[in-house]
Structure 1
């Protein structure tokens, strides 16, 4: 494999490529050394430790998702577009998406996303003293769901298939006496898709924002 100029950016590029192939569940110095054609020790001349590398890769995924948001959208539409893009990007790079959602990357991608969200909330009229809490609520919720979807992508196919089929199997067989609510809604539970869950989540988040705006008027 031809050697590349080894920089932090080149290492992150390689890590994103490896994560996108879904061949490994973790990004290590050994894996990246093989990908880049260098000794693994070279990786750690550019990153202090595994955590610094992980945060840099996660930050790149945030930048990728933000870049997919079309220009000129209204605040609600651009925040929704970003959330959908983030879930998609995390699911496409599950080795990173599954573990980075609960972290603070502290990089330019995260700063851009926080700025993006705070600006949108300001534009729709969220009171200044409540914007920070709303931003954190939205960020933590969307990141948590995106990481969940990424974790599902890491499951072996038989385990994932079993989880999905449980809604039409185990839940459909629930006793009406022991679990009357489940028995009553078993058919609908089996028909809910991941995309429907995401859309319902985004609707709920935006309803919360609208409620706060109305309270402040």
Structure 2
């Protein structure tokens, strides 16, 4: 096998490329070694263990999501664009997205994202003593939803279709006597998309932030 000079960055590059193909074992030495054209043991000279590699790749995904946010947006639009970008990036790299959503990467990407959000919240008018709480609420909620969407993206097309069809299958057959609310709303439930849920979630999150801002006057 030809020798190749490796760095942590080139290994993460390879892992992200594998993750974008939704390959299940992209963070193993065997798969990364094959991708990079090196012996599998070479990977672990740069990362202490699998968890360190996972956090590095997850941190890269956060950086990618942040870099995709358009410039010159108002604070509210900036935060909402970041949220959509995180969800999209995690879904596009589902194995890593699902695995990292409940973790802290402790890397530069995460630091940049926290800084970005805190600055936007401050510019929007959130009082300083509330910025940390609002940032954590936004981050934990969006990362949790992004992880859910990434997990769904890992399901086979057959399973996804079966789950979707349940709304007009199992749910459509419930008795109006025992489950009147479901019977009344079953068609509407079936019509709700993942993006509908995301937009409602973002609206609710911003409404909470706006409530904090309104206590000190003015929404930017």
Deviations 1:35-86 (A, max 9, x none): 1111111101000110000000000000001011111000111111111111
Match for residue 46 of structure 2?
A: 46
| CA distance in structure 1 between the aligned counterparts of 2:3 and 2:190, rounded to whole angstroms | 50
Question: By how many angstroms is 1:25 displaced?
Answer: 5.1
| CA distance in structure 1 between the aligned counterparts of 2:66 and 2:209, rounded to whole angstroms | 21
What does 1:76-91 correspond to in 2, within 5 Å?
76-91=76-91
Q: Is the 8 A contact 1:27 1:95 kept in 2?
A: no
Match for residue 136 of structure 1?
A: 136
Q: Is the 8 A contact 1:3 1:36 kept in 2?
A: no
Match for residue 179 of structure 2?
A: 179
Question: By how many angstroms is 1:3 displaced?
Answer: 5.3
Query: Over aligned residues, Cα RMSD in angstroms?
Result: 1.3
What does 1:1-217 correspond to in 2, within 5 Å?
4-24=4-24, 27-217=27-217
Q: Is the 8 A contact 2:55 2:100 kept in 1?
A: yes
Question: By how many angstroms is 1:154 displaced?
Answer: 0.6
Deviations 1:89-111 (A, max 9, x none): 10010010011010000000000
| CA distance in structure 1 between the aligned counterparts of 2:25 and 2:164, rounded to whole angstroms | 21
Indicate how the Cα distance of structure 1 residues 175 and 26 shifts in structure 2: closer, same or farther if over 3 A, else same.
farther
| CA distance in structure 1 between the aligned counterparts of 2:209 and 2:168, rounded to whole angstroms | 35
Structure 2 residues not aligned, in runs of 5+: none
Indicate how the Cα distance of structure 1 residues 170 and 2 shifts in structure 2: closer, same or farther if over 3 A, else same.
farther
157-166 or 69-78: which moved more?
A: 157-166
| CA distance in structure 2 between the aligned counterparts of 1:160 and 1:26, rounded to whole angstroms | 23
Secondary structure of the structure 2 residue equivalent to 1:178: coil
Q: Is the 8 A contact 1:16 1:93 kept in 2?
A: yes
Question: By how many angstroms is 1:23 displaced?
Answer: 2.3
Indicate how the Cα distance of structure 1 residues 158 and 216 shifts in structure 2: closer, same or farther if over 3 A, else same.
same
Deviations 1:164-213 (A, max 9, x none): 11122211222111111111110100000111110000000000000011
| CA distance in structure 1 between the aligned counterparts of 2:178 and 2:56, rounded to whole angstroms | 49
